[in-house]
Chain A
């Protein structure tokens, strides 16, 4: 798909991680009144990061399943912490998704964020460094640093630029996440005590050979890691922070939150919780799966009765990510491939939905479904794009959602038909609440006179929406290159778990 560029010997991962950071440092010295310049610098920075991430994919050898493009430097030697980055099939698409989303998110804020522009761009670029860093970190403490480093910018983004209840939502978001991650921190320290290393590959090796954990230790450590990630996902019943955070966050915050931040949880489960503690994961498999299934159905039912569009999408995220967690705990190639594709698909479709709600909110300043209706005649272009995003979210064949969902459910059915059956009900419910929303939102008669004068998408909005549509169609019609990137790693992963 992308020409192989092996000739460079650049530290590609570091470039991807550090470019946003350097860009945000650069912004610190920018004149705060020159908003256009600040926006342009940030946009350039994020495009540069996207380029570097494409370079990363170019250098990524999709025929091998192990860690690639590794970089390891001593960092805090006396504490045993190293700067160890690497990427494999599990993380490569997620890094790409993050870097793909960011420039368009930035573009979308040009009209919506007008106050404290400088601080906003610094925060969101720092957030990007945290997200990408967490996906590629191979040292537990380094991972924890990036994982936590996402927290403060996101907290500020919700708290400063959010809606009416923003302070409550920001605090709830922060405290929920922090509760989980501090216990994970303790678990990381315990692992260090047990094996003497923070380095993930070494740690995995030692746990398998020289320093195995007994089942009690595995249980508690698994719990500490999984709770932290389950809060991030969010898995039922730890999801209560999500609707608040989503509704109160500014559009850009919601997009990043739904598009990338939530994947941190499922990624963590796949990368850390299951491989580190496979026995505990196996013992708790049915518990986790049942929780996911409850989450799928519960999220969908909650989405059915929402009147606030953002809240509806937020609950749909609970439902969609339930599928992903379910698949993570079913160790076969199809379900895991589906899980990773679904993470990307959800990022694209939900990200785009939030962007579009942001667009309409800027024009009408309401998110209540009852305030709309019939606008498809007024804003045809907007309606087409919105419909594409909705259909992708539902999983219509030909768009991205279908491929992931199909693989995922196929894998689950093969393992435990009952779970597959129950989970499929989420697909049906998904179609129901989404189409119901579209009906109330776009179609029907125009009840409110203000809705007659809404302007349609402008060029800038088209520029940042079209890439999403392109990716959706590409992933829907020809997902092979993406699956090829993922599968060697997952094959190894499944083999490892079956031993």
Chain B
């Protein structure tokens, strides 16, 4: 095999490489610092992170969007619009995480470079996952990002529950990786040693029943990452135990990367009727259970965990349609929805991180009177929750509109109906924080909730983006449609 690397290959890996380098640089810069320094905001770490992420982001625009670069690295990855959209979501999320991290970590006395660089490392792996087109690169990317996220989940070493949650996440995650790998082995064997998705698609192994078993196993591996029922039980526990900002990062980026990879994978392989049925069953149960379980949560993080599960359920609908032969167009809702979900969820976790710093808890009642205390945060969180509930004029509504419209058009009225019922249930629990923020007065003496400029800025920008995408979603919808068409070339 030749060892020359083409320009297209360099360009393809550039965003991820920049992210990895940024992470390394943050580590080196912080090397000599004493441990007593962990209470300062360390703006320089954030500056490095922001610069790196913005560089990586601008790398996405080189060579013009939409140019399909064909097979790169012997089919290990590609550089299409779909991958770039995924990378865009992830880097946007990383940017806001970095912005919010300094203040959050400093006020909890744990500001070390590890957090910043782990965000960058996992972001790099996620970008690779969005671009991965063969089984090995998918697996390696998933493992790399998971390792970084395991550490982030247990970042507060002195919190017992935090370590417990991280350990749980790690054990279950390793278990699911086993499934993933086993499924890949099945497919590899049955398709006569094909690793690249295109080769698998063209092999004649697809009719073999064992092939479907292989796909199912891979699906289980992904179901764990996205928190689909019945592989969701870790989500609430880990979310509750982990630092708020790590959770925000997990909720947005891990989910986005997994969905992008899963969408690409499912568009290539043909698991047959049975796969469609299993997926739609999972989607229905996930939507219902996520929304129902969120109803009675007192902890905001647990509520967001179950709400995240429910949103995974909605996002499974386009995948069901894709496996049912709906063609690439039905997957178009995934990139759009991920952008909408990223903006709203990051805004929500920004506020939760501020609350949890102030009160060391994340109870719904801790939001009481936030509208008087921190009006900007309250407005941002309100917009985020309204968008998550899918109420019009927000990005979340357009996302749901796309998903449900495709479901109705594909003849899956039941999925749309369950989705609607799920959204209906969700309104109740999304409104509880709104009630607390706006309708209730703070309990004790008036104390300004500490919120760093980074948190305030991020929450406001995310809230603004949510509304802007709700009012003018056209360009992003078009881009999403193009990107999904680009997958199949």
Contacts and interface: CB of A to CB of B under 8 A. Distances in A.
B89 to A, nearest CB: 19
23 contacts: A76-B472, A76-B477, A79-B398, A79-B405, A119-B371, A141-B401, A145-B393, A145-B397, A148-B393, A149-B392, A152-B391, A167-B435, A170-B435, A171-B431, A171-B435, A174-B431, A175-B427, A178-B424, A182-B424, A189-B401, A190-B413, A193-B405, A193-B408
Interface stretch (B9-17, B157-165, B275-283, B415-423): B415-423
Contacts of A119: 371
Contact of B392 (A75, A145, A179): A145
Interface of B: 371, 386, 391-393, 397-398, 401-402, 404-405, 408-409, 413, 416-417, 420, 423-424, 427-428, 431, 435, 438-439, 472-474, 477-478, 481
Interface in A127-182: 141, 144-145, 148-149, 151-152, 155-156, 159-160, 166-167, 170-171, 174-175, 178-179, 182
Query: Secondary structure of the A side of the interface?
Result: helix
A183 interface: yes
A33 interface: no
Nearest to A190: B408
A159 B435 contact: yes
B420 A160 contact: no
Given A151-B391, A174-B431, A78 B477 contact: yes
Contacts, number: 78
A183 B420 contact: yes
A149 B392 CA distance: 7
Nearest to A183: B420
7 tightest Cβ-Cβ pairs between the two chains A and B: A78-B477, A145-B392, A148-B392, A159-B439, A189-B408, A76-B474, A193-B408
A121 B413 CA distance: 41
A160 B371 CA distance: 11
Nearest to A161: B439
Contact of B402 (A79, A171, A175): A79
A214 interface: no
Contacts of A179: 424
A179 B408 CA distance: 19
A31 interface: no
Contacts of B413: 190
A146 B148 CA distance: 44
Interface residues of A, number: 33
A79 to B, nearest CB: 6
Interface of A: 75-79, 119, 141, 144-145, 148-149, 151-152, 155-156, 159-160, 166-167, 170-171, 174-175, 178-179, 182-183, 185-186, 189-190, 192-193
B477 A186 contact: no
Contacts of B423: 182
Contacts of A144: 392
Contacts of A77: 474
A78 B474 contact: yes
Nearest to B479: A78
A186 B393 contact: no
B420 A186 contact: yes
Given A78-B481, A156-B438, A148 B391 contact: yes
B263 to A, nearest CB: 19
A75 to B, nearest CB: 7
A415 to B, nearest CB: 36
Contacts of B417: 186
Contacts of A182: 420, 423-424
A57 to B, nearest CB: 28
Nearest to B472: A76
A79 B401 CA distance: 9
Contacts of A148: 391-393
B435 to A, nearest CB: 6
A166 B440 CA distance: 11
Contact of A186 (B402, B408, B427, B481): B408
B344 to A, nearest CB: 15
Contacts of A141: 401
A76 B469 CA distance: 11
A186 B391 contact: no
Given A76-B398, A193-B405, 13 more contacts: A75-B474, A76-B477, A79-B474, A145-B393, A148-B391, A166-B439, A167-B435, A170-B435, A171-B431, A178-B424, A185-B404, A185-B420, A186-B420
Given A152-B386, A178-B427, A170 B439 contact: yes
A155 B417 CA distance: 25
Contacts of B472: 76
Nearest to A145: B392
Given A78-B474, A78-B477, A167 B439 contact: yes
Contacts of B481: 78
Contacts of B427: 174-175, 178
B376 to A, nearest CB: 12
Nearest to B478: A78
Nearest to A141: B401
Contact of A189 (B398, B405, B431): B405
B476 to A, nearest CB: 9
Contacts of B409: 192-193
B416 A189 contact: yes
A149 B471 CA distance: 12
Contacts of A193: 405, 408-409
A78 B405 CA distance: 13
A183 B402 CA distance: 16
Nearest to A144: B392
A438 to B, nearest CB: 35
Contact of B477 (A79, A167, A185, A190): A79
B406 to A, nearest CB: 9
B337 to A, nearest CB: 13
B407 to A, nearest CB: 8
Contacts of A76: 398, 472-474, 477
Contacts of B438: 156, 159-160
A170 B435 CA distance: 9
Contacts of A186: 404, 408, 416-417, 420
A155 B405 CA distance: 28
A338 to B, nearest CB: 33
Contacts of A152: 386, 391
